[in-house]
Amino acid sequence: MTETHHTDMLIVGAGPAGYTAAIYAARAGMQPILVTGMQPGGQLTITDEIENFPGFAKPVQGPWLMEQMREQAEHVGTKLVYDLITEAPLKQGPDAEGYFHLTGDSGDQFRARTVVIATGAQAKWLGLESEKTYQGAGVSACATCDGFFYRGKEVAVIGGGNTAVEEALYLTHHASTVHLVHRRDSLRAERILQKRLHDNPKIRLHWNREVREIVGEGSPAVVTALELADTQNPSETERLAVDGVFVAIGHSPSTGPFRNQLDCDAEGYIITRPGTATTSIPGIFAAGDIQDKIYRQAVTAAGTGCMAALEAERYLAEQKYTP
The residues annotated with a catalytic role in the active site are 142, 145-146
Q: Which residues of 122-145 are buried (b: 16+ CB within 10 A; e: fewer)?
A: ebeebeeebbeebbebbbbbbbeb
Whole-angstrom CA distances from 143 to 44, 121, 150 are 14, 16, 10
CA atoms within 13 A on the CB side of 68: 9
Q: What residues contact 1, with CB distance under 8 A and at least 6 apart?
A: none
Cα 42 versus chain centre, distance: 7
For 60, the enclosing helix (H) or strand (E) is strand 60-61
Contact 172, 203 (CB under 8 A): yes
Residue from 18, 13, 7, 101 nearest 307 by CA: 18
Residue from 245, 244, 250, 290 nearest 162 by CA: 250
